[in-house]
Amino acid sequence: MRIVYLNGDYVPKAAAKVSVFDRGLLFSDAVYEVISVIDGRLIDMERHVTRLERSLGELSINAFADWSTVAQKLVTDNGLQEGLVYLQVSRGVMDERDYRWPAPDTSPTIFAFAQERVLIENPMAGRGMRIITRPDLRWQRCDIKTTQLLYASLMKMEAEAAGVDDVWMTSGDLVTEGTSQNAHIISRESVLISHQLDRSILPGVTRIGMLEQAKSMGLSVEERAFSIEEAKDAAEAFISSSTLLIMPVVEIDGHKIGDGRPGERTARIRQNYLAAVQSDHSTKT
């Protein structure tokens, strides 16, 4: 029986109900986090909590919970070994639909669930991702992890229709990020280039660990936007996210990256990242 968390209670999935007047449903007035689970343990939970609390603050949503305890209990109660925990907080329930939000003391709606997913042995790591580019038409506060995901969903469906794995979104000729991932390249001069943290991209939690591993390997790092042409001319390309971890990109708009196979340095970054998070957790057992 799948157990979910809703407003302080752990209940069977079928018993979890949210009001039709919840602002998360009516206005996407909500934020969320997705935390990886490997070997039954949460990955980078403290960093996810920091980002969640920043998102809540940016939207002036007053919500407090022991986020780590909630997430770990869901992992335990559901016997999850590998996958993710999804955590969402909306501003709460209104008496009537209104663009203006209710009083600051309105109780938020907090729910979370655990979900199985293959993370480590994902076959895509061996073959690489094929990407197409499309204009980035999202709102201009992509640094806040809100539930406004319709455009990202549309782009994922466009990628599926095109027979590829995902979309990298662009502003002019510059790549911002993927539909649910940060985008990176390694130039022919062995420089790892990753978009700077600003309002046009989400500050990825996995991105932090990825950059730590890249620097430990001796790679130079530039945090700036890169163009589509730079990406096509790169030696390697890859993404980072909580659900795909570090994943190579081998094709962009039909153009092969490097020799068209997953890059060796990308593979090392992935391996070193996995080793680091698994070692970190083993020391806490």
129 and 219, same structural domain?
Answer: yes
147 and 255, same structural domain?
Answer: yes
Q: Look at the pTM and tell me if it is higher than 0.85.
A: yes
Of the residues 66, 86, 116, the one at which a domain ends? 116
pLDDT of residue 285: 37
> Where is pLDDT greater, at 282 or 69?
69
Neighbours of 232 (CB within 10 A): 17
Quote the domain boundaries for residue 264.
124-281
99 and 192, same structural domain?
Answer: no
Of the residues 95, 116, 137, the one at which a domain ends? 116
pLDDT of residue 284: 47
pLDDT of residue 283: 42
247 and 193, same structural domain?
Answer: yes
138 and 218, same structural domain?
Answer: yes
Q: Which residues, including other chains, have CB under 8 Å from residue 213's CB and lie 6 or more apart? A: 269, 272, 273, 276
57 and 172, same structural domain?
Answer: no
What are 189's two structure tokens?
């001069």
110 and 139, same structural domain?
Answer: no
Of the residues 116, 137, 154, the one at which a domain ends? 116
Task: Indicate if the pLDDT at residue 44 is higher than 80.
Answer: yes
209 and 68, same structural domain?
Answer: no
The set of catalytic residues is 145
Task: Indicate if the pLDDT at residue 80 is higher than 70.
Answer: yes
pLDDT of residue 83: 98
pLDDT of residue 174: 98
| Count of structural domains, the chain | 2
179 and 149, same structural domain?
Answer: yes
Banded model confidence at residue 282, pLDDT cuts 50, 70, 90? very low
Query: Among 250, 280, 255, 281, which residue's Cα sits nearest to residue 267?
Result: 250
128 and 98, same structural domain?
Answer: no
What are 182's two structure tokens?
């940060």
258 and 182, same structural domain?
Answer: yes
138 and 28, same structural domain?
Answer: no
Rounded to the nearest integer, the mean pLDDT of the chain is 96
Residue percentage of the chain with pLDDT more than 70 = 98
- Domain holding 133: CATH number? 3.20.10.10
Neighbours of 94 (CB within 10 A): 18
Task: Determine the average pLDDT of the residues in 229-234.
Answer: 98
- Domain holding 21: CATH number? 3.30.470.10
